[in-house]
Amino acid sequence: MSDTATRSTSTDAGAASGTGFVKIVGWVVAAIGAVMLVVVQDQLAAENIIVAEDAQWFAGDEVNGPLTAYSQADIINQHALEASEGKTYAELDREDPVRATMMNASFLRASLFTSVLAFGVSFMAMGLGVVQILLGFSMTRVAGMLSHPVRA
């Protein structure tokens, strides 16, 4: 067997194992993203939060996704600002009894925004996993083309 044939075979094996690894990583990342999406959605739905009736979007719907969570966070902010006559937590006097309401509203909004962020990260992980899988398939195809060039 010639030296060229030996190098070509070892290169083919290395390319195949590398592209297989890329695809496996893609499947794992996409699966983790999907699992985390379901976990976040289940945990959010378990809180039994209903979007306020006067919300701009999704009024009366159960909070179980990023859009309903964002909508509820928005209406909480509106209600809090109404209670404080347009002042934020930092603008209120330390002895103002409305300050506790503003603090609670801030905590609730932060929790809802955290779930919105978690949904975004889950979607991003799934998207990156799919890109990784496609990259692995593309690398496999290119490696095959390079190891068996078409002769003119």
Is 125 a member of any domain?
yes
Residue 24: inside a domain, yes or no? yes
Identify whether 112 is part of a domain.
Answer: yes
Q: Report yes or no on 105 lying in a domain.
A: yes
Q: What's the domain range around 116? A: 3-147
Q: What is the pLDDT of residue 8?
A: 47
- Residue 109 counted as domain residue: yes
Average of per-residue pLDDT across 129-149:
88
- Asked if the structure places residue 61 within a domain, the reply is yes
More confident residue, 6 or 100: 100
Q: Give the pLDDT confidence score for residue 7 in this predicted structure.
A: 46
- Determine contact, residues 51/71, Cβ cutoff 8 Å: yes
The predicted structure's pLDDT at residue 152: 65
Is residue 152, in this structure, part of any structural domain at all?
no
Number of separate domains in the chain = 1
Instruction: Give the model confidence (pLDDT) of 10-39 as tens digits.
Output: 455 555 567 789 899 999 999 999 999 999
In the predicted structure, residue 97 carries a pLDDT above the cut 60? yes
pLDDT band at 142; cut points 50, 70, 90: confident
Q: What is the pLDDT of residue 14?
A: 55
Task: Examine residue 91 and state whether it is found in any structural domain, yes or no.
Answer: yes
